[in-house]
Chain A
Amino acid sequence: MSHTIPLHYFLIVSTLMFFTGVAGFIIRRNLITILMSVELMLNSVNINFVAFNRYLYPDQMQGHFFTLFIVAIAAAEAAVAIALIINIYRKFNSIEVDHVDEMKY
């Protein structure tokens, strides 16, 4: 298997993707962008799953199943999140996250 890409390549990519997601989540003000950042984090995890599955237990399939599962859940979650965002827009006339701060002291 010497011609294959080593595992840590995948891990570096997924780590970069994850922290890009984290940074986006914290920095961006637009709710849609924040949702996209969340998707980035989820997908970085998916890469990890697939990569570990391939390198550690090549004869098993759990990592793949989990990945598919997460993709499906992420789709549902995106639908819910967008519904929430639409409602927030109706109430606050904005989808800037720093305008949505009613739940404070």
Chain B
Amino acid sequence: MNTFSYTFLIPILPLLMFLFIGLTGHKFKPIVSGVIGTVSLGIVTLLSYATAIQYFWGVGKIDEVFQTIIPYNYTWLQFWGNFKISMGILLDPISVMMLVVVSTVSFMVHIYSIGYMKGDGGFSRFFSFLSLFSFSMLGLVLATNIFQMYIFWELVGVSSFLLIGYYYEKPSAVAASKKAFIVTRFADFGFLIGILILSFYTGTFDFGVLTNPETTPVASMTGITFMGVSVVSWAMILIFAGGAGKSAMFPLHIWLPDAMEGPTPVSALIHAATMVVAGVYLVARMFVVYHFYAPGVQELIGYVGGFTSLFAAIIAITQFDIKRVLAFSTLSQIGYMMLALGVSGYGAEHGVGYMASMFHLFTHAMFKALLFLGAGSVIHAVHSNYMYDMGGLRKYMPITHITFLIATLTIAGVPFLSGFFSKDEILVAAFEHNKLLFAIEFLVAGITAFYMFRLYFNVFWGEDKHYHHTPHESPLVMTIPLMILAFGAIFAGYLPFAHMISPDKTPMHLHLHWNIAIPSVLIGLAGIALAWVLYKKKNPIPDKLASAFGTFYTTVYHKFYIDEIYLFVTHKILFNMVSRPVAWFDRHIVDGTMNGVAFIVTTSSNKIKGLQSGQLQQYAAVFIAGALGLVLLGIYFLQ
């Protein structure tokens, strides 16, 4: 045993809670399920912090290099020799960092849900699903090999499906959960094929072997091509497809806005802070392979991230459902992280993009969870998702207002809050490697500030709307997580990330680049100022602008009709051209043959069944006639 032997409790506790609450939850008062789920997650959080402290400031670093520590690794499925699937726990800088993110946000969401879901009929069911999700996500983060990651990857997909469809009486929630499941499952199919290609050529699933830059067996794959592209690129592009599905990168982003049908704490936990960054985490895990053996794919990742961030930011401006605005903002921010990985180098100070991506993942988890939980608090108070039903709420909900403002300032990149530092690092990395992507990100920084403050002003300023009852501040059980996350959103940026995370696991020494930071802050402030002018007081300019842009505005409002394109492709083309003819063939030709055979047998047996009359003497007569016939035949032939 070793110093990290307690880490096995981190994924196991939520699993046990899932089983316990799921199987026995109905026997207690609902609040009991909530409390024990929360307490166990609290223990997991403490263990994660202990792991992080012990790893980063204790035994993790030897000779200025962070070590990969594997406290547990059991062979789960042995194929031959070293080719096996293991289940284990892997600790390295990014997995420990993710442990902290996942457990913190999950713990906050658990506390918050006790208040938010109070009185809901499925209270214990909700908490058992939350535990299942926490288990799967922690298992994904700690995976020692790509197949273990795939298994937990599917598990988070299932828990996401269950939680989006939590309000299963609502048809829209059911449709959204199906959509999320089908789209991500489609992407995971690519992931699986990618894993198979990679393991076929390298003979291993193990991250430690695959991502060791000196000895990786991926080197043996170079030179093998398929359709003019090397198989490494094929494998890595398919693996990225899985990551793009989970992280909702264009064009597989369509499920994420709809996933907001789930309860708001779920949106905060799964669809903002943890599960949707699994794709980023996956790319970061395989970063060595991407960087050295599939540089083209790495570049593609950068462009996909950049495009998604711009695309989603533009859509976010026009949306009125506050959760959808936040969903598109999530897409945009994950685009940032992907882009940062796409432009990152390797070794010494070149790894800034990689570090920035993980840094942004960390700070984003804090402020986006805070934004979602704040939005949940607002929705809880006014019983509507739409910002035209809100206004002037700052008077009624002071804590929600202040914490939401902090988060909004953070995402807008206002100096000395956490988002400022992480976004600055991403911009630095982009500036050094690709000026076009830098320009996109620079623009998106301004758009982000604008649409976030549009949301903020619309909800908390302006005039009061007609409320059914006076909105009131949420209970403490909901506002305390808000305050804790606000604390995280302010101070997470002061963690010495560059000293902890880098692609080659050696600490970097970075400092702020004011030549990039100042312009990005200025464009952020410009966005805020524009939002101030347009939305602080009610005025007709936004409507005028909307009608001035006319078609463009409607196109953006309808999310560039991407959903409609998908529907067109699936319904009109796939269903009509392929599925219906195939279904016709199945019903008429395949089934027809079978039915025809059955019909012939039935009718002919109906015709001859009278032979079995039950009349003994008839049988005897036939029998004797037959016997005589045989005798006659015998006589005839034997002569």
Contacts and interface: CB of A to CB of B under 8 A. Distances in A.
Nearest to A27: B617
B228 interface: no
A101 interface: yes
Contact of A26 (B610, B612, B614, B620): B620
B2 interface: no
Interface string B579-617: 000000000000000000000000000000110111111
A: interface residue count bin: 10 to 19
A102 B614 contact: yes
Interface in A31-57: none
Given A105-B609, A105-B610, A98 B615 contact: yes
Contacts of A101: 613-615
A57 B101 CA distance: 107
B616 to A, nearest CB: 6
| Number of chain B interface residues as a range | 10 to 19
Contacts, number: 27
B614 A25 contact: no
Interface in A64-105: 97-98, 100-105
A26 B179 CA distance: 75
A27 B615 CA distance: 12
Nearest to B609: A105
A36 B72 CA distance: 89
Contact of B616 (A22, A27, A100): A100
A100 B615 CA distance: 7
B347 to A, nearest CB: 87
Contacts of A27: 617
B624 interface: yes
A97 B617 CA distance: 8
Interface of A: 22, 25-27, 97-98, 100-105
Interface of B: 609-610, 612-617, 620-621, 624
15 contacts: A22-B624, A25-B617, A26-B620, A26-B624, A97-B615, A97-B616, A98-B617, A100-B614, A103-B614, A104-B612, A104-B613, A104-B614, A104-B615, A105-B609, A105-B612
10 cross-chain pairs, A with B, having the tightest CB-CB distances, nearest first: A104-B614, A101-B614, A105-B609, A26-B621, A105-B612, A103-B614, A26-B617, A104-B612, A104-B613, A101-B615
Given A102-B614, A104-B614, 19 more contacts: A22-B624, A25-B617, A25-B620, A26-B617, A26-B621, A26-B624, A27-B617, A97-B615, A98-B615, A98-B617, A100-B616, A101-B614, A101-B615, A103-B614, A104-B612, A104-B613, A104-B615, A105-B610, A105-B612
